[in-house]
């Protein structure tokens, strides 16, 4: 995908949550929704992912399980994380 791909309103809300939670000096509107969250993408580590999981739980009212076998895919990009959040919100 192109870097200038626009975030959906839900992706932007989640990007703002991530940036705020981690105290990042980034413009959430400039994030590429397909950029990896780990490593060379946003550069997040496991502690950052834990903090994001806790913030999602508080903000959206469902628990993100640390031992879910699908977490590698869920947290692979903002887009995948948003799809997971929206699915869980719909099921709640």
Alpha-carbon distance of 46 to 68, in angstroms, equals 14
The structural domains of the chain, with segments of one domain joined by +, span: 9-91
The pLDDT tens digits along the chain (92 residues) read: 345 578 999 999 999 999 999 999 999 998 999 999 988 888 999 999 999 999 999 999 998 887 888 999 999 999 999 999 999 999 87
Give me the pLDDT at residue 14, please.
Answer: 97
Return the closest-CA partner of residue 38 out of 3, 80, 2.
80
- Give residue 27's pLDDT: 93
pLDDT for res 5: 72
State residue 4's pLDDT score. 59
Q: Which CATH superfamily is domain 9-91 in?
A: ACP-like (1.10.1200.10)
Q: Which of 60, 21, 67, 58 is nearest to 42 (CA)?
A: 21
């Amino acid at each position: 995908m192109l870097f200038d791909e626009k975030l959906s309103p839900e992706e932007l809300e989640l990007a703002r949550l991530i940036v705020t939670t981690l105290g990042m000096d980034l413009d959430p509107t400039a994030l590429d929704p397909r950029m990896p969250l780990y490593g060379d993408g946003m550069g997040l580590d496991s502690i950052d992912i834990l903090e994001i999981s806790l913030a999602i739980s508080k903000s959206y009212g469902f628990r993100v399980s640390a031992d879910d076998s699908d977490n590698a895919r869920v947290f692979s990009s903002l887009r995948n994380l948003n799809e997971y959040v929206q699915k869980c919100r719909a099921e709640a």
